[in-house]
């Protein structure tokens, strides 16, 4: 048995025991952050967390046909999606080309599979700007927003405890190359996701007030969304399936979302720390609230107002609550610093 296979077998065994006794422990495991973690957008976060009843690793399938190995891999994936405590003292600027290069290398390494027994190899594997980056590394990306819309609204997603409705699910943001325009095919895009956990009220309006005249800058940790497949090329074909993207490497969850003050993308330096160049979305949108303001569009209005989203038929999780094997929500600052040092080693 390969090393990856042994890891998956051992993890599946441990988790099968956890799931076997879970009903006796109760059906909830509230979402929480380590005591040493300061939420990156704490000043504007919605508190208490509207999605706090969904634990840090969401749920796994309760279907008897679901394998322990698949459930174990899903737990690790959900844990990575809920990484709100990555070290932001080192932020690496990336572009779409770099994320596509990371995708190509990931394919070569055999990572484009539905289930990964371990996510360790995804860290610090790619050299960029004198840094080694990978899953968990905090990056910053300048791009056009193609649209913003709620994802998995009718049924919910496992990381969000399969709870339907807008407030319980991610806001999915396809991002386009800033050297082009917003007419680029979605298959050329990369993705950012705003988690429902503690999501600022202004961020929850992004689908209804999407910047369409100004490029944005998105900051957050990298996540490898191996549950999906990328498009075959930069133009959509019949063989490509949603969600369309050119790379499985995405920013998830979003830590910061800024809008450039200049409508000319060339005048928006991705490296600038000037607050007159990059304006936090919650501040920028205050000046773009009118229904006739051409700087914003309701790009996700159709999905938000769909009956199954605005009035979901059921609530609550359909799966079994999952316990994080890595205890990401209780890691000490020492553990976090050790992980950060590994992720940013040259």
**245: pLDDT confidence band, cut at 50, 70 and 90?**
very high
Q: Any residues with CB less than 8 A from the CB of 276 and at least 6 apart, and which?
A: 261
Domain assignment present for 121: yes
Domain assignment present for 331: no
Q: What is the CA radius of gyration of the chain?
A: 20
pLDDT: which is higher, 8 or 171: 171
pLDDT tens digit sequence for 186-226: 999 999 999 999 999 999 999 999 999 999 999 999 999 99
CA dist., res. 249 & res. 222, Å (int):
6
Domain assignment present for 334: no
Q: How many helices (H) and strands (E) does the chain have?
A: 7, 15
Domain assignment present for 7: yes
- Name the domain count of the chain: 1
Is the whole model's pTM more than 0.85, yes or no? yes
Domain assignment present for 344: no
Residue 26 has pLDDT above 80, yes or no: no
CA dist., res. 124 & res. 122, Å (int):
7
Structural domain for 206, as ranges: 3-311+319-324
CA dist., res. 168 & res. 195, Å (int):
9
Domain assignment present for 176: yes
**Alpha helix (H) residue ranges in 285-323:** 301-305, 307-310
CA dist., res. 176 & res. 92, Å (int):
18
CA dist., res. 56 & res. 323, Å (int):
8
Pairing of strands 138-145, 92-94: parallel
Domain assignment present for 78: yes
Dihedral pair phi/psi, residue 17, rounded to 5°: -70, -45
């Amino acid at each position: 048995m390969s090393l990856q296979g042994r890891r998956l077998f051992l993890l599946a065994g441990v988790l099968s025991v956890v799931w076997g006794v879970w009903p006796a422990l109760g059906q909830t495991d509230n979402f929480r952050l380590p005591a040493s973690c300061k939420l990156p957008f704490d000043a504007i976060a919605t508190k208490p967390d509207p999605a706090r009843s969904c634990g840090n690793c969401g749920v796994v399938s309760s279907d008897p046909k679901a394998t322990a190995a698949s459930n174990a891999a899903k737990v690790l994936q959900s844990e990575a999606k809920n990484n709100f405590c990555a070290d932001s003292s080192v932020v690496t600027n990336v572009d779409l080309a770099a994320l596509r290069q990371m995708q190509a290398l990931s394919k070569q390494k055999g990572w484009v599979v539905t289930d990964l027994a371990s996510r360790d190899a995804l860290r610090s594997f790619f050299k960029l700007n004198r840094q080694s980056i990978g899953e968990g590394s905090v990056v910053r990306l300048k791009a056009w927003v193609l649209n913003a819309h709620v994802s998995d609204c009718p049924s919910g997603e496992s990381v969000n405890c399969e709870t339907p409705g807008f407030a319980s699910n991610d806001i999915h943001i396809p991002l386009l190359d800033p050297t082009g325009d917003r007419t680029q095919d979605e298959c050329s895009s990369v993705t950012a996701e705003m988690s429902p956990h503690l999501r600022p009220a202004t961020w929850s309006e992004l689908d209804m007030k999407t910047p369409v005249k100004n490029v944005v800058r998105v900051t957050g940790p990298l996540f490898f969304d191996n549950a999906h497949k990328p498009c075959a090329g930069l133009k959509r074909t019949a063989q490509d399936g949603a969600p369309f993207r050119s790379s499985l490497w995405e920013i998830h969850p979003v830590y910061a979302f800024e809008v450039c003050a200049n409508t000319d993308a060339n005048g928006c330096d991705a490296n600038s720390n000037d607050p007159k160049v990059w304006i936090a979305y919650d501040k920028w949108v205050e000046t773009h609230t009118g229904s006739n303001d051409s700087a914003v569009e309701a790009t996700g209005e159709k999905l938000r107002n769909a009956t199954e989203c605005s009035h979901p038929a059921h609530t609550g999780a359909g799966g079994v609550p999952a316990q994080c094997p890595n205890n990401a929500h209780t890691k000490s600052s020492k553990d976090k610093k050790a992980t950060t040092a590994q992720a940013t080693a040259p």
